[in-house]
Amino acid sequence: MRIECDFLVIGTGVAGLTFARAVAGHGRVILLSKTTPRESATQKAQGGIATVIDIKDSFEAHIQDTLIAGRGLCKQEVVEQCVRDGPARIQELQNIGARFSTRADHPDELDLGREGGHSARRIVHAADATGEEMVRALLQSVREEPNVEILEQHMAVDLIVPGREHPDRRCLGAHVLDKQNNAIHTIVSPVTVIATGGAGKVYLYTSNPDVATGDGIAMAYRAGAKVANMEFFQFHPTILYHPGAKGQLISEALRGEGGVLIDKAGRRFMADYDPGKELAPRDVVARAIDSEMKRSGDDCVFLDATHLGTDFLYQRFPNITAACKKFGIDVSTMPIPIVPAVHYCCGGIVTDLDGHTSIPGLFAIGESACTGLHGANRLASNSLLEGLVFAHRAGSQAQNVARPDLSIAPDWESGDAVQSDETVVVSQDWDELRRYMWNYVGIVRSDRRLRRARRRHDLMLDEIREYYWNYHITSDLLELRNIATIADLIINAARSRKESRGLHHTSDYPKEVAAMAKDTILSRFGN
């Protein structure tokens, strides 16, 4: 089947939905959801949206906090633009019905939380389920738009981009797998938007949903787009440690309200690592926990919030308290066992302030994009802000894209591919890849570990390429292919950065090097 639209949006998190709203009045919009629109990292976001609301706060303070966290790699103009646009985007969400938490003593004022790395209380939240409330409001608004169609259970296979020698090389849409009937459709559009989120599933342990397999970044790289800073993966310090809990995030907001990190003996240890203690930037806290676990041999450390009181904990963090209770943990009387896990990809597809990538007609927004906002380490709750701000800006720009000749976009050809009778290969490679990425390219790296990862991954890539071209496509195979591409980018970027900066920490080069305060740019075509 061949489908034509004016805007093809791949992904239905905060960025994809915000973009769709921005362009809905300017043509036909198709939103692709790999599963359902509610399955995204946005949906799972607990903490909130960082923005300047309080009169005691300032844009300058938020800008400075972001720059400090980014360890010299943030782009100043991007940070300033994002911070200054924030309040308007919050107001827009409220205008479409998003309900954020308000102060008990002043119900007409937003209740602002505080998180690590922030010098003021500036986190707009909906209790501890901010992402869920954002998706609810945005999805309701998008579904009221007659020009917007959401295709569920549809996964992009690859972007349609003519070869390098073509005189007008631009993106013309994507080939898309309809998972319900296993058919490949060709969807053509003058504007294609990657809003597929992050790639946490490339690692064994992650807070990300199962859909976070880096699809958009991998497709863009294969098409020749520039990708940057893939060595910078943020490990969230506090993921619930329990055999039955799958990536259950324990929000940084709990530490922002006074929760403390302790070892199994009850010793508070963060003062040994940073003056900011529990409110130090995430990379510092994650490495401190990793260090404590390796030093003691314990499987986890603990987040103690018992001193905050039962009423406060159950009112401010209803979802966290309920999730912990499901596993027999009463947060008002018991410390929460926690470990670090992969949480956020600070790198991605290189874009400008308006979401343009290095390929005309292709935009990238949200976690898939590398805007220059986060640098070497994302400041807490700047991610939802980035998705809102740059999706809105990209929507304004995409309305002006000239319509190319879409007829030249080729339909899908399956060639000599046959049905596979060895699907065990996919599951085996999936498990093996994620494990060696965790062991060799994790929180603390070394040249030796990275060389081991490189050797194993080269063999893995050969196996996946052979399998991909010989057998019919499935969503599992596509996801394996994409995480393999992402792993390749991470390993190459990590090996090229001979220093420790932000989220990239290597025991062979433990210091920052001034000459390396620049982006790690990767391109399939070397330009």
Per the CB < 8 A criterion, the answer to whether 117 and 279 are in contact is yes
How much is the CA Rg of the chain, to the nearest whole Å? 22
CA-CA distance, 360 to 372, in Å (whole number)?
Answer: 20
* Distance from C-alpha of 138 to C-alpha of 115, rounded to nearest angstrom: 25
Token pair listed for 113: 């939380």
DSSP 82-136: HHHHHHHHHHHHHHTT----B-SS-TTSB-EE--TT-SS--EE-STT-HHHHHHH
For residue 16, the one-letter residue type is G
- Catalytic residue, chosen from 71, 89, 255, 282, is 282
Edge-first strand order for the sheet with 348-350 is 369-370, 348-350, 227-228, 521-522
The token pair that represents 257 in the structure block: 């309200």
Q: Is 267 a catalytic residue?
A: no
Q: Edge-to-edge, what's the strand order for the sheet holding 148-151?
A: 148-151, 29-32, 7-10, 191-194, 362-364
Phi first, then psi: give them for residue 340, nearest 5 degrees. -75, 155
Question: Which residues partner with 174 through β-bridges?
Answer: 159, 187
**Whole-Å CA distances, 354 to 69, 135, 336, 520:** 23, 22, 41, 21
d(CA 444, CA 19): 36
The span from the CA of 144 to the CA of 24, in Å, is 10
Please report which helix (H) or strand (E) contains residue 301, including its range.
strand 301-304
Residue 436: other Cβ atoms inside 10 A? 20
Structure tokens at 421: 């009778």
Cα distance between residue 68 and residue 502, in whole Å: 10
Measured distance CA(218)–CA(201) in Å, rounded: 13
Q: Are 498 and 445 in contact (CB under 8 A)?
A: no
**CB-based contact 123:45 (threshold 8 Å):** no
CA-to-CA dists, residue 26 to 252, 262, 400, 442, angstroms = 39, 54, 10, 44
Hey, which residues are catalytic here? 282
